[in-house]
Amino acid sequence: MLIKVVFFTVLAVSVYFVGFAGNCLLTVGDLAPDFTVLDENSQPWSLSAQRGKAIVLYFYPRDETKNCTEQACSIGAGYSKFRELNTVVAGINRQSPEVHKAFKENHYLPFSLLSDSDGDVCRKYGAMRAISYLPPRRITFVVDTDGKIAEILPEVDVATHTEHLLEILKKLSSHNR
């Protein structure tokens, strides 16, 4: 009996964490896959429409959870610096536009929150977990002004995420001069 309990516990933990092992098939230098999804206002948002600006596309599990809220609020607090660096920021997960709208309003977030309700974008970017009903994993992509992936952050520390992104964007900006 104990062996069965241990086996199923290990199996459950393994299945939960599949997807954290780096299942992203995209690499730095690849053209970022284009997509169109709805934002928090149920308006279409396309990656290709952002060309000419750097883009921070961050995948996160759920609105109104501790780490996701800390991450979003930190990015929101530094948003003027992102704008100075000619950067568009968008958070994305599988929740509805209505849920995103409430989250954005509750925390005064100045950037778009995108709804990938069918999980297609999460799959393209390697953020989908092995069990599709689980929320996406936390991963961030920095896309340059030409639409190419400049940086992939598969391990995100929400406490330092904003500062790390700003450092990357400053280096990217200095290379584009």
**List 24, 68, 73, 122, catalytic entry:** 68
Residues 6+ apart with CB under 8 A from 39: 45, 90, 97, 100, 112, 113, 114, 115
> Is 68 an active-site residue?
yes
pLDDT one-digit tens code per residue, 122-148 = 889 988 765 555 556 778 999 999 999
pTM (2 d.p.):
0.82
Q: Is the pLDDT of residue 170 over 90?
A: yes
CATH number of 2-175: 3.40.30.10
- Separation of alpha carbons 175 and 127, rounded Å: 28
Per domain, the residue ranges of the chain are 2-175
Q: What is the mean pLDDT of residues 26-50?
A: 95
